[in-house]
Structure formats: C-alpha cells, structure tokens
Amino acid sequence: MEKIPDLNELTIEEINAILTHKWYLSEKAGYDVGMEFTKDDFFKHHSKKWRIQQIQKDYEKQKEEILKHKYYLSQKRGCEVDIQEAALDWINSGYAEHWRYHTGPYENRK
C-alpha cells in the first residue's frame, strides 16, 4: 500500500476530490467526518480509481490537442499528415510542453 500523503503534499485536484469525498462521507454519517479521516479513506479506497480517471481525462484532452495540431500541420504542408507524425511534431516543436504546463492539465505547476 502506498504512503498516505500529508495535506500539504496534495495537488489542488486531489484536495478537490477529497473535499467531494468528505461531503459524501459526512452526508452518509450525518456529521462532519473531518479532513484527516476523509483523506485517509480516500487514499485507502478511492485514489487509485480516481487517478486512472484523471489519466484518462488527460489523455483525451491531449489527443484533442494533437488532432488540432494535425489539422494545422496538414494545412501548412498542403497534404494530409498522419497522426503519429503530428504527435511527434507536436512534442518536438514544444507545443506539448507548453500545453501541459501553461494551458493544459498541469497549468502553473512547473
């Protein structure tokens, strides 16, 4: 089992997921269950599934960006560019890093 992080080690996304979980647990219990209990329960029982869902969302967003890049690259070259070439160009030209850290899922984390 993974180490349960301290509250100050969590990302904004993790904190929001834990706060949502806290609301559900508190509603079920009929009282405020507290942040530490909720955090521990979230990491013991729910974080793995939540992370998989986050990775899937990031993948879908990234795929959309690559498809946009494919369109613009095809327009620029005057011929159809395949998805693999577009993805490599998207990465090598710096668009991937910019998207990830400035407009994508990890905005302002770098």
Predicted local confidence at residue 35, as pLDDT: 93
Predicted local confidence at residue 24, as pLDDT: 95
Task: Please determine, for residue 1, whether its predicted confidence score (pLDDT) is greater than 80.
Answer: no
pTM above 0.85, yes or no: no
d(CA 38, CA 35): 5
3-state DSSP call for residue 38? helix
Residue pLDDT, tens place only, 36-93? 999 999 999 999 999 999 989 989 999 999 999 999 999 999 999 999 999 999 999 9
Report CA-CA distances (Å) from 31 to 24, 25, 34, 41, 61.
Answer: 11, 9, 9, 16, 38
Q: CB within 8 A of 97, min separation 6: which ones?
A: none
Segment 5-28 shows an average pLDDT of: 92
Q: CB within 8 A of 54, min separation 6: which ones?
A: 13, 105
